[in-house]
Amino acid sequence: MQGQGEKEAKFGRRELWTKIAGAGLAASGLLGLTLLRFLSREETSVDEDDIYPSPPPKQPVSADAEPTQEPVISAAHALYDYSIEDAGPRLAIVEGGERVRTLRRLVEALGGMGRFVRKGDRVLVKPNVGFATPPEVGATTHPTVVRELVRLCFEAGASEVLVTDYPTTSAEHAFRVSGIARAAEDAGARVVLPDREQFRRVTLPSSRLFKDWPMLVGPLSGINRVIGVAPVKDHGLSGVTLSIKNWYGLLGGRRNLFHQRIVECLVDLATLIRPTLVILDATVSMVSNGPTGGSEKDLKRTNTMIGGLDPVAVDACGAALIGRSLQELPWLIQAEARGLGTARWEKLNPIRDRVG
Amino acid sequence: MRVVWFRRFSQAVFFFVFLFFCLVSSPGEQWYRLGSTLGPPKWPISWFFEADPLLAISQIFAKGDLPSGFVWALAVLAFTALLGRFFCGFVCPFGAFNQAVGFVISGLRRRVLPLKYHRLQSFKYYLLAFFLVTSFLGQAISLSRTGQDYAVGWLFFGLVLLGLLAFALQSRGSMRTNIALIIALTLLWLFLGRIVQGDEILDSSLLAGLLDPMTLAYRSFAFFVLPFLDRGFGVLYGSPYHHGAWLIGGLFLLFLFLNIVTPRFFCRFLCPLGALFGLLAHYAPLRIYKRAELCTDCQRCNAVCEGACEPVGTFRRAECLLCLNCLAKCPEKAVTYGLRPLANEAFGPTITRRGLVTSAFMGLAGVPLLRLGGLVGPDWRPYLLRPPGSQPEPDFLRLCIRCGQCIRVCPSGVLQPAGLEAGFEAIFTPVLNNRLGTSGCQTNCTLCGQVCPTGAIRKLSLDEKLGRGEFAHQGPVKIGTAFIDRGRCLPWAFDRPCIVCQENCPTSPKAIFLRSSVRKDREGRASKIDRPYVDPRYCTGCGICEHVCPIRGIAAIRVSAENETRSQHKSFWIR
């Protein structure tokens, strides 16, 4: 524009050198910062490819590289085995309409939380936070149960409790709307949101599906005990969704593709991780229109909580509770055939009790 | 000197409050978040828009009504009429940003920038006229027909006439011609109003939001600057993607770099809000003036003047941004700010009658130009999905200021600023984009309507959105309907089990239901397969199914705007 009258200052050699030096300083500062960030980053984290997994690298990344705990050889070759072997009861069913008391009685019936969590243990609690729906809808684990479970862990001497899940919508949103973020934090647990850094590529050798697949196993590092806690819900594809389907939340990437082989996927999930304890909260069950529900008509008061060390037995018991037969649930039969547990749960002589 | 520091302080405070409102515009319980997804928002995030008289007047012109929050704008107008363009100098965050950038640039260049007046600074007044006329067209027609319905509209129409009259009094042309022109135009308007039918072509459209500094700055920071700065940290944004970001960011960078040409380029040449303030500031009793007896004509004030109003020469009152640099720079204390009767100082820009008539005509032709293509008529874009509670499209375009707050607060990020795909007129307005969102429209959320400052998206209660309680007879608010593309759907096209859409469908009963059949594959093996169907009675068009569909290129189930609640002509379903 009207710059004709302006005097352009003479650009001397000294000024040139000052400028070059300044630019150099700025550039090296930037470079340093980038380098720092790069170095402090965990090297195994996956990047954008989370969403579109690339073909497996020539040397598959072994998930066993995670120094989480001493590998325990079990019949099922689980990658993540947190199960305990002792002579205590393996299945308990407690009736009761009030969640806190029922849960406490259930854990007592199984031998107390001290059986599962020792002093100084680091515990991961995995609720079902699949959707951003409030607790009344019943599509997610009830926050009261999460809160009480976390408290029980701390009472048993846990040094840290983490709560995580990978919802179908924005994680932060789902954790907040479901009330689970607040409940967990109230009780002193730390909520780990599924950021990209929390995913690693995992290969389950016995599986056709889980090959170099991004999974939410970041929160497992340094964990000794894993407790799954799920609601009892109807499900279009797999019949019901219970404690084993709850591990679907560990799958990253385009996990929707696994619906094409849902039976195989559920059996693989049961193989992938063997939790210390699983709990089904069937105080209110979703008997239709699952797994999202949305109306009171979809819910039924079943006033029961089921807990146990054998996820297959617990799920079979939960399915029976809402009147689903084993024949409708081929994944339970196949899981039993693979030696992952017993689908005929009555054989385990479940402890039965009633509160209030 | 002190007054300049006060100005800088004020600018900094308002700029950071503006940024803060932009940052807190996401749902959450922490103090730095908005609160629940059902509203109302904890922070007054719409304040900058509500204090913007251009947006307020445009709405009154376009709709004949104004949400009560915009009372701030009237206060700003009143103070401007008294103090001059204090908003530009002390409040406007975009002005502060441009001034800071200009300051840095002139510092880097170590020379005095050309801060002289340029005759094209009058361009912004023509822009203002254009925007006001585009937002007034439809209203003008309906006013002449059913004037009594719009008390506020009439009031402001009176104000327009008064303004024109005042301009006529000021203008250099013959007074008689000017008044005759105004009377002729009014009669023409009343006459045309009797014979012309308003429709969606001869209609109002609130285009001012495209260049209004508040909405421009909000869009730029929320969808370009902050996501860009947040990359690598991932603290502020769950998803960094915003459709049309290139356009938003491109405009922002353009205005940023125009500060190289001259500081506060946008404010001087383009800002329609500044033009509106300028018209008022011209008559402000309090203003900058020079005590001629003290002035040594050293020109120091002119060199630092942000608005190029040239306090030393013919002071251009309308261009004065109240940066007050002249006060601080004057060694003789000859420049003062204070009460002064109207003198024969220059208005500032020369607004010619010819220019004004041209821009007004462009404004009249503007909306028909955009609408004769039929995008708001029969050629509506099926994938232009508006957020739940949106007004019918013509009303929506009368009200949406394109601020982008609804987009910023959307918890699943499914709301996105439109690019050019739905036509120029829909640019930057909120559209659901089921590819970019982290999920579809969330069932338990009405936040977009809660934060909408103008009511383009109505404030819905959850009961109304879901069609419960007293709204049960209406059914849920629908954005559109999902359609299954059977040639792409895994169970339909390839006999593969899938039904992820059915699993995630959030309505009760599910809008996506299953029918089982036994199919033989080409080798003759029989298997049972569940296939999804959509029940349009229950489908709300939330788009969660489209988002989760494993076919990612062109999803096998897609939502389009058929059956949306807000317009009858897009429905195909008889209840």
Chain segment B427-448, per-residue pLDDT in tens: 999 999 999 999 999 999 999 9
Exposed/middle/buried for A38, CB within 10 Å: 0-12, 13-18, 19+?
A: exposed
Which pLDDT value is given to residue A54? 41
Q: Do B444 and A9 touch (CB under 8 A)?
A: no
Which pLDDT value is given to residue A64? 45
Least-confidence region, from A67-76, A152-161, B391-400: A67-76
Whole-number Å distance between alpha carbons of B246 and B252: 10
Q: Which residues of B213-228 are buried (b: 16+ CB within 10 A; e: fewer)?
A: bbbbbbbbbbbbbbbe
* Token pair in block for residue B64: 């004949």
Nearest CB neighbour to B500, from listed A9, A169, A256: A256
Nearest CB neighbour to B499, from listed A236, A254, A261: A236
Q: Which of B464, B457, B443 shows the shortest CA–CA distance to B392?
A: B457
User: How many other C-beta atoms can be found within 10 angstroms of the C-beta atom of residue B182?
Assistant: 15
List alpha helices for chain A, DSSP H. 13-40, 99-109, 143-155, 171-177, 180-186, 262-272, 311-321, 330-337
Per residue in A155-189, pLDDT (tens digit) is: 999 999 999 999 999 999 999 999 999 999 999 99
Nearest CB neighbour to B411, from listed A37, A170, A291: A170
Tell me the mean pLDDT in the region B70-86.
93
Tell me the mean pLDDT in the region B445-472.
94
What end-to-end distance do the CA atoms of chain B give, in Å? 71
Which pLDDT value is given to residue B178? 73
Query: CA quadruple B276, B280, B282, B285: dihedral positive or negative?
Result: negative
Residue A265 phi/psi, 5° resolution?
-60, -40
Interface test with B, best of A128, A173, A177, A289 (most B CBs within 10 A): A173
Tell me the mean pLDDT in the region A111-137.
95
Interface test with B, best of A170, A251, A288 (most B CBs within 10 A): A170
Mean of pLDDT over chain A:
86
CA distances from B343 to A209, B282, B290, B308, B312 (A): 84, 11, 12, 19, 15
Residue A273 phi/psi, 5° resolution?
-135, 130
Which pLDDT value is given to residue B356? 83
Judging contacts by C-beta atoms under 8 Å, the chain A residues touching residue B497 are: 237, 259-262
* Token pair in block for residue B511: 């809008």
What residue of B is the nearest CA neighbor of A52?
B552
Is pLDDT above 80 for A257?
Answer: yes
Is pLDDT above 90 for B192?
Answer: no
Which pLDDT value is given to residue B145? 65
Per residue in B211-264, pLDDT (tens digit) is: 999 999 999 999 999 999 988 787 788 788 999 899 999 999 999 999 988 889
Q: Do B439 and A1 touch (CB under 8 A)?
A: no
* Token pair in block for residue B405: 């707050």
Q: Do A292 and B496 touch (CB under 8 A)?
A: no
Is pLDDT above 90 for B15?
Answer: yes
Per residue in B311-355, pLDDT (tens digit) is: 777 788 889 999 998 888 888 888 888 887 666 566 667 788 788
Q: Do A133 and B439 touch (CB under 8 A)?
A: no
Angle separating helix axes B245-261 and B93-109, nearest 10 degrees: 50
Confidence of residue B153 (pLDDT cuts 50, 70, 90): low
A14 at interface of B, judged by CB pairs closer than 8 A: no
Nearest-CA distance from B553 to chain A in Å? 12
Long-range contacts of A55-59 (CB under 8 A, 24+ apart): A56/A203, A56/A211, A56/A212, A57/A212
Q: Do A132 and B509 touch (CB under 8 A)?
A: no
Q: Do B496 and A260 touch (CB under 8 A)?
A: yes
Q: Do B503 and A292 touch (CB under 8 A)?
A: yes
Which pLDDT value is given to residue A6? 42
Give the H/E segment covering residue A201.
strand A200-202
A193 at interface of B, judged by CB pairs closer than 8 A: no
Higher pLDDT, B112 or B515: B515
Confidence of residue B387 (pLDDT cuts 50, 70, 90): very high
List, in sequence order, every beta strand (DSSP E) within B256-334.
286-290
Which pLDDT value is given to residue B280? 87
Cβ atoms B377, B201 nearer than 8 A: yes
A300 at interface of B, judged by CB pairs closer than 8 A: no
Whole-number Å distance between alpha carbons of B539 and B304: 61
* Token pair in block for residue A118: 């020792």
Q: Which of A161, A209, A168, A165 shows the shortest CA–CA distance to A186?
A: A161
Whole-number Å distance between alpha carbons of A277 and A270: 13
Of all residues in chain B, the percent with pLDDT exceeding 70 is 92
Of all residues in chain A, the percent with pLDDT exceeding 70 is 83
Q: Which residues contact B15 (CB under 8 A, 6 or more apart)?
A: B93, B96, B97
Whole-number Å distance between alpha carbons of A44 and A137: 38
Q: Do B116 and A2 touch (CB under 8 A)?
A: yes
Q: Do B506 and A291 touch (CB under 8 A)?
A: no
Tell me the mean pLDDT in the region A60-74.
41
Least-confidence region, from A265-274, B48-57, B145-154: B145-154
Judging contacts by C-beta atoms under 8 Å, the chain A residues touching residue B262 are: 1
Beta bridge partners of B390: B457
Confidence of residue A113 (pLDDT cuts 50, 70, 90): very high
Q: Do A256 and B550 touch (CB under 8 A)?
A: yes
CA distances from A141 to A82, A112, A158, B219, B413 (A): 21, 21, 22, 38, 25
Cβ atoms A212, A203 nearer than 8 A: yes
A291 at interface of B, judged by CB pairs closer than 8 A: yes
Whole-number Å distance between alpha carbons of A113 and B18: 51
Whole-number Å distance between alpha carbons of B529 and B171: 79
Judging contacts by C-beta atoms under 8 Å, the chain A residues touching residue B503 are: 235-237, 259, 291-292
Confidence of residue B569 (pLDDT cuts 50, 70, 90): confident
Q: Do B508 and A8 touch (CB under 8 A)?
A: no
A254 at interface of B, judged by CB pairs closer than 8 A: yes
Judging contacts by C-beta atoms under 8 Å, the chain A residues touching residue B510 are: 289, 292
Is pLDDT above 70 for A213?
Answer: yes
What residue of B is the nearest CA neighbor of A136?
B444
Judging contacts by C-beta atoms under 8 Å, the chain B residues touching residue A262 are: 497
Q: Do B443 and A133 touch (CB under 8 A)?
A: yes
Q: What angle do CA B339, B341, B347 make, to 5 degrees?
A: 105
Tell me the mean pLDDT in the region A127-149.
96
Judging contacts by C-beta atoms under 8 Å, the chain B residues touching residue A7 are: 111
Judging contacts by C-beta atoms under 8 Å, the chain B residues touching residue A289 are: 508-510
Per residue in A14-34, pLDDT (tens digit) is: 666 777 777 778 877 777 776
Confidence of residue A13 (pLDDT cuts 50, 70, 90): low
Nearest-CA distance from A69 to chain B in Å? 31
CB hemisphere CA count around A330 (13 angstroms): 6
Angle separating helix axes B53-63 and B123-146, nearest 10 degrees: 30
Which pLDDT value is given to residue A7? 42
Mean of pLDDT over chain B:
88
- Interface A:B, Cβ pairs < 8 A: 115
Confidence of residue B159 (pLDDT cuts 50, 70, 90): low
Q: Do B118 and A1 touch (CB under 8 A)?
A: yes
Residue A16 phi/psi, 5° resolution?
-60, -50
DSSP B457: B
Judging contacts by C-beta atoms under 8 Å, the chain B residues touching residue A295 are: 508-509
Tell me the mean pLDDT in the region A113-119.
95
Per residue in B480-538, pLDDT (tens digit) is: 999 999 999 999 999 999 999 999 999 999 999 999 999 888 899 998 999 999 999 99
What residue of B is the nearest CA neighbor of A263?
B497
Evaluate whether ipTM surpasses 0.90.
Answer: no
Q: Which of A304, A301, A285, A281 shows the shortest CA–CA distance to A96?
A: A304
Which pLDDT value is given to residue B298? 86
Tell me the mean pLDDT in the region B283-295.
85
Is pLDDT above 80 for B14?
Answer: yes
- The whole model's pTM is what? 0.85
DSSP A299: E
Exposed/middle/buried for B468, CB within 10 Å: 0-12, 13-18, 19+?
A: middle
Which pLDDT value is given to residue A11? 55
